[in-house]
Every structure is written in structure tokens, then in C-alpha cells.
């Protein structure tokens, strides 16, 4: 599997969990509601979307539905997609409605009680789905998941060159845009600091390479570990020299990405794979002339939904409404004293955040192609909390950044497993969680507001001069 | 003044706030012991020794505590069982003795929270962004700036409220309640920690607002301020109203001198 395919898989994960994290940010970041049961709405969104869109009768499924909305509407043009989107909307609505049932009794409680109650409710809902086979087929799960527009893929328009241009150019444009944005972040780093950091990064990579060649060899293994430590030490010097540690960390992350995504494939597999990685949306194996396969389509589609959700949340919080939400987070008695019905705001925030989690669930089911209750364990909620805290609580960009960091470590390092003897697989899996734990502690200690910190809240469209 | 209900004046002016038989117990401690009190329009001072029940009285009247017995009428309407938000919407607001600024939000945002019935505070209007959203937001921003200028907070508008000094927090608290466009404001020691020139300004503003129809009930320990600026003074002691009346009458009342003012009042 080319790195590009792997990257597409991770990027799709990141998109889905960012959407999930945006929902949590509405509740936790902006309103201060500690919802430890956030995953319940992810689960409800996934199941309801699936049941509303799956065919009416499927083998080995004994639960409710399916209601086959896409088939039902297939007579009208685009009806199949509309049917699926209606299913997704149904999933969001169901998640929001269930959150109302949970919220009406619990939101009258103070925040820590809400956290515990929400965790309990999520666990109960998971147990219900697991044990009540008549509902959604229990632990056997659902396999027959409707995938919107699946028949149109692989999409392979025109000749080889046309197809390459249609998907290759946007890929290049995305890289160019990312590079441009990155440049803006890295600019304050002095050349000297950048040089030291890069040297540290290279020594670190060399150490990893030494281990990767043969971990069993005592000399290579020891040399590798020494180089890893030395690389870390050199990079530390760069951090001590600078007053923009975030930019240096960004530089190191970008360099590691470049080595992983461009340099290593070029060395190991040659220029063709490098080209495939660069034009990542173009898959030469899709269709006769190559094109867009379904996985890549889901990434683009999910990305579009994420952008939509991002602006939706931004519009909500950059407003007088968002001010009330934040005032509830700070000290609920104050908005109450100023005549705001805080209970109504909390309920709405809970429902809105849960609906976004539901949308993420619907997308998750479509992407994975199989759902069962074990996918919706409480840990998923805490993954999202970790991502939100790392990236920046009450910062929508921070949620996405935190999700990128979290899943880069948790899933993006899985390819490293190939380099280590298979008997270390369990230790490596644990090492990933340790690494995330260490990162979380470092962030909480040095930068409790997260990498990006809380965002600003400009209320747009009210004209200039009033916000001087 | 009758002895059984010293908080109820003899003359029949329509009271802004009318409290009857208000009781509040915390375990074995009786914080309010059947308070009867009518607050007439104007500026009323509330004094009394520490632990007399002044803050509990505020909390029960504004809905932060549920009274064990008694009724609260505001503008002739029974509001005993309504929460703080509903009372604030009707024009009954309070400040907190220890300022409750929203530390992570800017001073401007703290102020913008106060005006009532803002169109942009509903989800619908926030998502649709109609004309009302824009005009309301412009108006409240103008009001907030004006209030900040008056209370000398305008140079701090973009600072987080958590960075303000103690006195500035008091001012922010006062600015916020005034921006709610209230009818009766309960001020819990609004002048503690405020510098003397600003104190004069605030008191002038309170008189100004009183002439425009607002009423104030304020707790203050500076007896000179109370004597000089209040139309009526209410004295609380041990969870009940000890007496009420003109500042001069209260100052010379034997029981007040004994309970609160101490021997030497001149």
C-alpha cells in the first residue's frame, strides 16, 4: 500500500473525529458542559443513519428497519444522495433528541454531576444496543451499510491525462495551500534555530533508521537509541533558544512529515510512488485511466461536511448567542443575574453538539462499512477530549489541529510497526498511548489552554467603527 | 411605625418591592426571621451588623435562594418562586458583594451580556443574521461603550475581565446591572474598594438614574454615604428589620445605636 492510501485513510479518520470534536467543543469548550457521554450521540447518529438508509430486508439482520430512503427517492434525479443526506439528518436529529432526554434532568445539576451522569447514560445506551438484539442486531452489528453514490466510483473521467489533471491539480493545490499556510507559521523562527532543530530532527531520524535496519542487532539498536536521545537533545537546544516554541514544533512536525511522505518512499520505492503520493487524490489503480476511488471520495465529501460544520459552529459562537454560552462556562450565576435563561442555552448547546456528533457517526458508518456496539466505547469520548485539550479548548481550529496531532500519533505511527519485530506489537500499541499521555501532560503543564489557546470572537457583519 | 412590622411604612405609596414574612433557615440558624419590608421608589439604604441577614435577604429576593416562607412582590406581581433570570427580565437585578466578573471574557463582552432582549441571543437569529441582529448588536455596543466611558473603563474594553483590579471589578459589576435597564437595583456594597472621586461620580449617577425612575436598594457600611444619599434607611438585625425611616430618625434611634452604630455617632 502506498503511503498515499494510508494517508487518505488517516485523513478520513481525522475529518470524522474533527467533526466529532467540534461537537464536543460546542458543549465543553464554549459552554463548559463536561459531557463524558459524547460517544453516545456518535453511536446514535451512526445507527440511525444506517437504519434509515439500508435496504429493507437484508440477510443476517434481525433489527429494526431498514427504511431504504435512498431507494425510495431514487426515482427523482439525485434522489439517492438526497435520501442518504436525509438519513444523515435523521441521525443528527435522533442524536439531538436523545441528548434532550439526557439533558433535561441532568443539566439542572452542577457540572461534575453532569459528567458522571452522562458517562452512565452513554454506557447504558451502549449496553442496550449490545443486548437488545431486536433493536439494531446487538453484537452482530450491521454489515449492509448504504454507501452514497458508491456506484459512480471509481470515477474516471476522460482519458488518462484528463483524469490525472482533474484530480492531480487539486492535490497539488492542497499541498501548495498547506505549504503557504505553514510558511506563515514558521516565519518567526530564525534561520539558526531552524538549523539546529532540523539537525536534531535528522539525527533523530538517523537513530530511527538504525533501529529499523535491525533492532535485534545490539550495536545498531544501541546506536539507534543513542541517536534518538541525541536528536532529542539537539532539538531541545532549539526550543530553549526561541520564543516561538509552537513554530519550532510545527517545523519539526513538517520535516518529519516530509521525510515520511516524500523522502522515504522515494528512497525505498522510487519516483513513481513519489508522484502517487504527491497527486494523492489521483489513484492510478481506480478505473481504466485511473481516477478517484471511493475512499478518496469519502475524504473529499467528509472534508466538505467538516468545512460546513466548522463555519456553522463559528457562526454560532461569534455572536451574542455565543457570548451567553461562554458566560455560562465562566460563571453561570452571572448570566442568570442578567436575565438569561441559562437552562435553555445549555439544552440547545447540548443538542447542537450532539447533532454534530451524530453527523460524525453517520459518516463513520459509511466509511467503515460495518458497525457494532464495540466501536462506540467510552474511550472514544476521551480521545476527543484529549484532542480538544491538546489543540485548544474553545478553539475550532485547535480542535482540528488537536485531532491531527492525536491521530498522527495514534494511527499515523502504525506503519512503524513494520520496522519492529512483531513480538513487540503490544508494547508499540502501549507506547503510542504513553506518548499521547506524555504529550497531554506536557500541554496541561506548560500550556493548559492548548496549542492554539482560546479563539477570538469577532461578531461579523455589524459594520466597522463599533468594535474599535 | 408599628412595632410588629417596622419595615412597613405608614404612608401609602405604591411600593416597588414588597416582602412579607420572608423566612430562611440554614440548618439550625435562622438567617431571615419573617422579614416584612416595603421598598418605596427612590434610594433606600440597607444597613446592619455583619450577619444581620442582608445578603441572605438579597439572595432570597433575587431568586438565588428559595425562601422557606413568605412572599416577594415586585411591581405588584408575586415573583416569590421565580428564578433570578425571570426576575432580571422584569427589571429586578442585583450585584454581588464579591464581584463576579467573567474572567476569560473581555470587559466589552462582559458588558454586552447585560442588555435584555437582544435579537442575536437566540439561535434562530444567530444562524439567519437578519436586520434585527445587526441593529441590536450595534445598539448594545454603543450603549456598552457609553457606560464604559462613564465608569472610566473604556480604556480596558479589550482586556480580559480577569485582569482588572478589585475596584474596577466593582465598577464592571455596576455597569453590567445598569445596562440591563432595570427598575430596581439591589447593590451589595457597590462602593467598597472604589476610589473617592469615582465614588462621588457613581453616587451622582445613582441620583441621576433615580430621577429617571430607577430605584435602588443598597447595602453600605459607610454610614456617611447612607445618611447623605438615601431617602430611606432600613436597619436589619438578627434576621429581621429593626427599624426603617428617614436617615436622621434612624441615626438617633437608640436600638440602632446599640446594635450597629455604636456609642459615638457624631
- B167-204, pLDDT tens digit by residue? 888 889 889 999 998 999 999 888 887 888 888 888 88
The DSSP H or E segment spanning A360 is: helix A342-368
In this predicted model, what pLDDT tens digit does every residue of A186-234 receive, in sequence order?
888 889 999 999 999 999 888 888 887 776 778 888 888 899 999 999 9
> Nine-digit cell at B55?
445578603
pLDDT reported for residue A85:
94
Q: How confident is the model at residue A4 (pLDDT cuts 50, 70, 90)?
A: confident
Q: Bigger pLDDT: A262 or B264?
A: A262
Q: Is the pLDDT of residue B43 over 50?
A: yes
Last residue of a domain, one of B122, B146, B163: B163
User: Using 50, 70 and 90 to split pLDDT, how confident is the model at B6?
Assistant: low
pLDDT 10s digits, A58-77:
777 887 877 888 888 888 88
Which of B85, B126, B136 lies closest to A341 in CB terms? B85
Chain B residues with CB-CB distance to A334 below 8 A: 100, 102, 113, 176
A466 near B CB under 8 A: yes
Separation in Å, CA of A326 to nearest CA in chain B: 8
pLDDT exceeds cutoff 90 at B227: no
**How far does B67 lie from chain A, in Å, by closest CA?**
17
Taking an 8 Å cut-off on Cβ atoms, the answer to whether A454 and B104 are in contact is: yes
Quick one: pLDDT band at residue A172, thresholds 50, 70, 90? Answer: very high
Contact list in A for residue B155 (CB cut-off 8 A) is none
Which of residues A154 and A361 earns the better pLDDT score?
A361
Chain A touched by B134 (CB under 8 Å): yes
Query: Quick one: how far is CA A121 from the chain centroid?
Result: 24
Q: Let me know whether B70 and B137 are in one domain.
A: no
Interfacial A residues in 315-334 facing B (CB < 8 Å): 315-316, 319-324, 326-327, 330-331, 333-334
Give yes or no: residues B136 and B216 share one domain: no
Predicted pLDDT of residue A59:
74
| Rounded percentage of chain B residues whose pLDDT exceeds 70 | 93
Question: Could you tell me which of B209, B204, B203 has the C-alpha nearest to residue B190?
Answer: B203
Identify whether residues B174 and B138 lie together within a single domain: no
How far is the C-alpha of A439 from the C-alpha of A366, rounded, in Å?
31
Last residue of a domain, one of B144, B163, B182: B163
Q: What is the 3-state secondary structure (H, E, C) of B24-54?
A: EEECCEEEEEEEEEEECCCEEEEECCCCCCH
With a cut of 80, say whether residue A57 has pLDDT above it.
no
Same domain, B68 and B177: yes
Q: Does the pLDDT value for residue A467 go beyond 50?
A: no
Determine how β-strand B43-47 pairs with β-strand B232-237. parallel
Helix (H) or strand (E) holding A407: helix A396-410
- pLDDT of amino acid B186: 92
Residues of B in Cβ contact (< 8 Å) with A449: none
Give me the mean pLDDT over the A143-160 stretch. Answer: 84
Q: What is the pLDDT of residue B2?
A: 43
Confidence (pLDDT) at B61: 92
Mind listing the pLDDT tens digit for each residue in A243-285?
888 889 889 999 888 888 888 888 888 888 888 888 888 888 7
DSSP letters for A166-209: HHHHHHHHHHHHHHHHHHHHHTTS-HHHHHHHHHHHHHHHHHHH
Q: Do B187 and B207 belong to one domain?
A: yes
Cell 458543549 belongs to which residue?
A27
What does the block give as the cell for A37? Answer: 457521554
Residue B109 belongs to domain spanning: 103-163
The whole-number pLDDT of residue A22 equals 97
Res B38 pLDDT > 50:
yes
> The C-alpha cell of B180 is what?
440591563
User: Which grid coordinates belong to A409?
Assistant: 500519533
Q: Is the pLDDT score of A96 beyond 90? A: yes
> How many domains, in total, are found in chain B?
2
Kindly state the DSSP code that residue A242 receives in the 8-state scheme: -
Question: Domain check: are B228 and B266 in the same one?
Answer: yes
- Chosen from B86, B90, B107, B120 to mutate, greatest number of chain A CBs within 10 A: B120
Question: What pTM, to 2 d.p., does this model score?
Answer: 0.90
Q: Widest CA span of chain A, in angstroms?
A: 71
Q: Are B90 and B146 found together in one domain?
A: no
User: Among residues B126, B146, B163, which one ends one of the domains?
Assistant: B163
* Contact of A232 with A225, CB cutoff 8 Å: no
Q: What is the CATH number of the domain that holds B239?
A: 3.40.50.300
Cell numbers standing for residue B122: 437566540
Nearest residue, CB atoms, B118 vs list A320, A348, A467? A320
Average pLDDT, chain B: 86
Q: Is B254 helix (H, G, I), strand (E, B) or coil?
A: helix
Instruction: Count CA within 13 A, CB hemisphere, residue A19.
Output: 29
Residue A464 pLDDT greater than 60, yes or no = no
Q: What is the DSSP letter of A61?
A: -
Verify that B122 and B232 share a domain, yes or no. no
The answer to whether B85 contacts A336, with C-beta atoms less than 8 Å apart, is: yes
The residue in chain B having the minimum alpha-carbon distance to the alpha carbon of residue A315 is B127
- Which residues on adjacent β-strands are paired with residue B184? B92, B215
Contact A342 B129 (CB under 8 A): no
**Rounded distance, CA A388 to CA A80, Å?**
35
Q: Which helix (H) or strand (E) holds B17?
A: strand B17-26
Any idea which of A45-49, A192-196, B247-251, B255-259 has the lowest mean pLDDT? Answer: B255-259
For residues B82 and B197, state if they share a domain. yes
d(Cα B130, Cα A170) in Å, to the nearest integer?
A: 36
Instruction: Give the pLDDT band of residue A463 (cuts 50, 70, 90).
Output: low
* A128 or B262: which leads in pLDDT: A128
CB contact under 8 A, A462 and B104: no
If you average pLDDT over residues B130-158, what whole number do you get? Answer: 91
* B155, closest residue in chain A (CA to CA): A468
- Partner B contacted by A463 (CB < 8 A): yes
Q: Are B10 and B69 contained in the same domain?
A: yes
What is the predicted pLDDT for the residue at A281? 86
A vs B, Cβ pairs < 8 A, gives: 108
What average pLDDT score do residues A459-465 get? 68
Q: Examine the pLDDT at B91 and tell me if it is beyond 60.
A: yes
Q: How far is CA B208 from CA A265, A292, A381, B105, B195, in A?
A: 77, 72, 54, 30, 20
Residues B139 and B9 in one domain: no
Between CA B145 and CA B155 the distance in angstroms is 10
Q: Which three cell numbers stand for residue A357?
A: 456528533
Pairing of strands B69-74, B43-47: unpaired
The residue that leads in pLDDT, B221 or A323, is A323
Residues B96 and B30 in one domain: yes
Contacts of B118 in chain A (CB under 8 A): 320
- Residue where the block lists cell 441593529: B135
Q: Which grid coordinates belong to B204?
A: 451622582
The reported pLDDT for the residue numbered B1 is: 42
Q: Do B105 and A327 touch (CB under 8 A)?
A: yes
How many whole angstroms separate alpha carbon A119 and alpha carbon B82? 32
CA dihedral A188, A194, A196, A198 (to 10 degrees): 150
Contact yes or no for A466 and B103 at CB 8 A: no
Q: How confident is the model at residue B156 (pLDDT cuts 50, 70, 90)?
A: very high
Element (H, E) at A248: helix A245-258
Banded pLDDT at A179 (limits 50, 70, 90): very high
Contacts of A30 in chain B (CB under 8 A): none
Q: What is the pLDDT of residue B10?
A: 56
User: Rounded to an integer, what distance in angstroms lies between the CA atom of residue A114 and that of residue A27?
Assistant: 12
- When comparing pLDDT for A37 and B220, which is higher? A37
pLDDT for position A466: 45
Most B CBs within 10 Å: which of A332, A333, A338, A344, as the mutation test of the B interface? A338
pLDDT in tens, A294-309: 889 999 999 999 999 9
ipTM: 0.86
Q: Which residue has the higher pLDDT, A403 or B76?
A: A403
What band does B51 get if pLDDT is binned at 50, 70 and 90? confident
Per-residue pLDDT band at A3 (split at 50, 70, 90): confident
The torsion of the CA quartet B143, B144, B145, B149, rounded to 10 degrees, works out to 100
Q: What's the rounded mean pLDDT across residues A108-121?
A: 83
How many Å apart are CA A110 and CA B63, to the nearest integer? 17
pLDDT higher than 90, residue B30: no
More confident residue, A40 or A272: A40
H helix or E strand, kind and range, residue B236:
strand B232-237
Q: What residues have CB less than 8 Å from B225, skipping those under 6 apart?
A: B45, B191, B199, B203
Partnered with residue B237 across adjacent β-strands are B240
Amino acid at each position: 500500500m502506498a503511503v498515499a492510501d494510508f494517508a487518505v485513510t488517516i485523513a478520513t479518520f481525522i475529518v470524522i473525529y474533527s467533526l466529532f470534536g467540534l461537537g464536543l467543543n460546542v458543549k465543553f469548550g464554549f459552554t463548559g458542559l463536561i459531557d463524558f457521554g459524547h460517544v453516545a450521540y456518535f453511536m446514535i447518529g451512526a445507527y440511525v443513519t444506517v437504519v434509515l438508509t439500508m435496504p429493507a430486508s437484508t440477510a443476517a439482520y434481525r433489527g429494526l428497519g431498514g427504511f431504504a430512503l435512498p431507494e425510495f427517492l431514487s426515482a427523482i434525479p439525485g434522489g439517492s444522495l438526497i435520501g442518504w443526506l436525509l438519513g444523515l439528518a435523521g441521525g443528527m436529529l435522533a442524536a439531538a433528541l436523545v441528548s434532550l432526554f439526557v439533558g433535561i434532568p441532568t443539566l439542572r445539576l452542577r457540572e461534575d454531576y453532569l459528567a458522571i451522569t452522562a458517562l452512565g447514560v452513554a454506557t447504558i445506551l451502549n449496553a442496550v444496543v449490545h443486548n437488545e438484539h431486536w433493536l439494531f442486531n446487538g453484537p452482530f452489528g450491521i454489515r449492509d451499510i448504504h454507501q452514497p453514490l458508491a456506484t459512480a466510483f471509481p470515477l474516471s473521467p476522460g482519458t488518462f491525462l484528463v483524469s490525472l489533471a482533474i484530480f492531480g491539480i487539486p492535490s497539488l493545490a492542497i499541498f501548495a495551500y498547506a505549504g503557504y499556510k505553514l510558511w506563515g507559521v514558521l516565519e518567526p523562527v530564525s534561520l539558526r534555530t531552524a538549523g539546529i532543530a532540523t539537525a536534531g530532527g535528522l539525527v533523530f531520524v538517523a537513530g530511527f533508521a538504525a533501529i529499523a535496519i535491525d533492532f535485534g542487532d545490539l550495536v545498531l539498536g544501541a546506536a539507534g537509541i543513542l541517536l534518538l536521545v541525541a536528536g532529542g537533545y539537539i532539538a531541545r537546544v532549539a526550543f530553549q533558544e526561541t520564543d516561538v516554541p509552537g513554530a519550532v514544533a510545527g517545523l519539526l512536525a513538517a520535516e518529519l512529515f516530509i521525510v515520511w511522505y516524500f523522502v522515504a518512499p522515494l528512497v525505498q520505492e522510487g519516483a513513481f510512488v513519489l508522484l502517487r503520493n504527491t497527486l494523492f487524490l489521483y489513484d492510478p489503480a481506480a478505473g481504466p485511466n485511473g481516477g478517484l476511488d471511493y475512499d478518496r471520495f469519502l475524504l473529499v465529501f467528509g472534508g466538505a461536511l467538516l468545512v460546513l460544520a466548522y463555519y456553522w459552529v463559528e457562526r454560532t459562537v461569534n455572536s451574542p448567542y455565543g457570548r451567553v454560552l461562554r458566560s455560562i462556562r465562566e460563571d453561570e450565576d452571572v448570566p442568570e443575574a442578567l436575565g438569561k435563561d441559562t437552562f435553555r442555552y445549555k439544552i440547545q448547546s447540548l443538542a447542537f453538539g450532539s447533532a454534530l456528533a451524530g453527523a460524525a457517526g453517520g459518516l463513520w458508518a459509511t466509511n467503515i462499512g460495518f458497525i457494532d456496539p464495540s466501536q462506540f466505547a467510552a474511550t472514544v469520548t476521551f480521545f476527543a477530549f484529549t484532542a480538544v485539550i491538546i489543540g485548544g479548548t474553545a478553539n475550532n481550529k485547535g480542535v482540528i489541529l488537536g485531532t491531527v496531532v492525536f491521530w498522527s500519533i495514534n494511527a499515523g505511527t502504525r506503519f512503524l510497526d513494520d520496522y519492529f519485530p512483531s513480538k513487540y506489537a503490544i508494547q508499540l500499541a502501549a507506547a503510542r498511548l504513553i506518548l499521547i499521555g506524555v504529550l497531554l501532560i506536557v500541554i496541561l503543564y506548560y500550556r493548559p489552554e492548548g496549542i492554539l489557546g482560546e479563539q477570538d470572537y469577532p461578531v461579523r457583519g455589524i459594520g466597522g467603527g463599533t468594535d474599535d | 411605625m408599628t412595632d410588629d412590622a417596622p419595615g412597613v411604612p405608614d404612608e401609602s405609596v405604591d411600593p416597588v418591592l414588597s416582602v412579607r414574612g420572608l423566612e430562611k433557615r440554614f440548618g439550625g440558624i435562622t438567617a431571615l426571621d419573617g422579614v416584612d419590608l416595603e421598598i418605596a421608589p427612590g434610594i433606600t439604604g440597607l444597613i446592619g451588623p455583619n450577619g444581620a441577614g442582608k445578603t441572605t435577604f438579597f439572595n432570597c429576593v433575587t431568586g438565588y435562594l428559595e425562601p422557606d416562607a413568605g412572599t416577594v412582590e415586585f411591581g405588584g406581581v408575586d415573583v416569590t418562586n421565580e428564578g433570578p433570570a425571570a426576575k432580571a427580565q422584569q427589571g429586578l437585578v442585583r450585584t454581588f458583594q464579591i464581584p463576579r466578573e467573567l474572567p476569560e471574557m473581555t470587559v466589552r463582552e462582559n458588558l454586552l451580556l447585560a442588555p435584555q432582549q437582544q435579537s442575536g441571543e437566540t439561535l434562530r437569529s444567530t444562524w439567519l443574521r437578519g436586520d434585527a441582529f445587526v441593529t441590536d448588536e450595534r445598539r448594545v455596543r454603543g450603549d456598552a461603550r457609553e457606560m464604559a466611558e462613564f465608569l472610566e473603563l473604556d480604556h480596558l474594553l479589550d482586556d480580559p475581565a480577569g485582569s482588572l483590579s478589585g475596584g474596577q471589578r466593582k465598577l464592571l459589576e455596576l455597569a453590567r446591572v445598569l445596562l440591563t435597564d432595570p427598575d430596581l437595583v439591589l447593590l451589595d456594597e457597590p462602593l467598597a474598594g472604589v476610589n473617592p472621586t469615582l465614588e462621588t461620580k457613581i453616587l451622582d449617577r445613582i441620583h441621576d438614574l433615580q430621577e429617571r425612575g430607577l430605584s435602588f436598594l443598597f447595602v453600605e457600611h459607610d454610614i456617611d454615604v447612607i445618611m447623605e444619599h438615601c431617602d430611606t434607611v432600613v436597619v436589619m438585625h438578627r434576621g429581621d428589620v429593626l427599624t426603617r425611616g428617614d436617615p436622621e430618625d434612624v441615626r438617633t434611634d437608640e436600638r440602632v445605636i446599640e446594635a450597629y452604630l455604636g456609642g459615638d455617632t457624631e
